[in-house]
Amino acid sequence: MSPSTRARADAARLQIAGAIAAVTGLTLLALPLPANAVEPTTYPVTIDVSIDDGASSAALSGANVIIRTTDGSDAVVASGTTGSNGTVTLDVAGEPTSYIVDAVWPGALGDLEATSARREFLLGNPAPVSVPLRGTFGTVTGVITAAMGVDGGVVVISSGGVAVQRIPLAAGGGFTSGALPTTSAEDYAVSLVPAAGFELAAQQPSGSRPFSVPAGQFVSIGRHFDVVPQG
């Protein structure tokens, strides 16, 4: 092979090698970079549930709160129960878009227009989400007595057989409930959770007999329970 022919062949090989390198480089550059997972932002959402009779309102303790998406799946993203001040704060992870909250009174309907209410809100808005239930309301005061185990005990108020409020007993067994939907039916009852070290006796007097909370009336009850030391 003559020197000129060899030179032309070497040049051709270099051109081919350069082209391959260029294509390879382009291919490598075209590969997608590894995707980094983006964690959704978590926002605290405070739900404020009340009962409203049209003239006044009060915090509603014991309401179940459920937050759902609005994307058509109706997926539950958070849930909780309102405390004595009628509020509950839930953490929701997601995009700052619209969500739905349902507030549900788990007890008897009584004088409520409905046992649930719904509101739509924007995730990320720091303002509390207010959800009123419509109906008249009242409170119950009373005294729980027992031979022992009252101091440090808790009275449980049930509505329609469902526990809706737990109230620590004051000295002497006194208590005052939060706002309760009124009812002329005997939908309400109370039970006692004795202080630590005590338990309810197997046989009880009529301490948990039901009672009503009529609209416009002040309700005061007294109940006695038989309590024994645990063990």
* CATH dotted code for 137-229: 2.60.40.10
* Spatial separation of the C-alpha atoms in residues 77 and 93, rounded to whole Å: 8
Q: Do domains 42-134 and 137-229 have the same CATH topology?
A: yes
pTM of the model: 0.81
Q: Domain residue spans in the chain?
A: 1-35, 42-134, 137-229
3-16 residue pLDDT tens: 455 545 555 554 55
Residue 4 host element (H or E): helix 3-30
128-154 residue pLDDT tens: 999 999 999 999 999 999 999 999 999
pLDDT at 74: 86
Task: Answer whether residue 92 shows pLDDT above 60.
Answer: yes
CATH of 42-134, one of 2.60.40.1120, 2.30.40.10, 3.30.70.2700, 1.10.8.10: 2.60.40.1120
- The better pLDDT of the pair 11, 73 is held by 73
For range 75-93, the mean pLDDT: 97
The answer to whether the CB of 189 falls within 8 A of the CB of 211 is yes
Task: Answer whether residue 31 shows pLDDT above 50.
Answer: yes
Residue 90 host element (H or E): strand 87-93
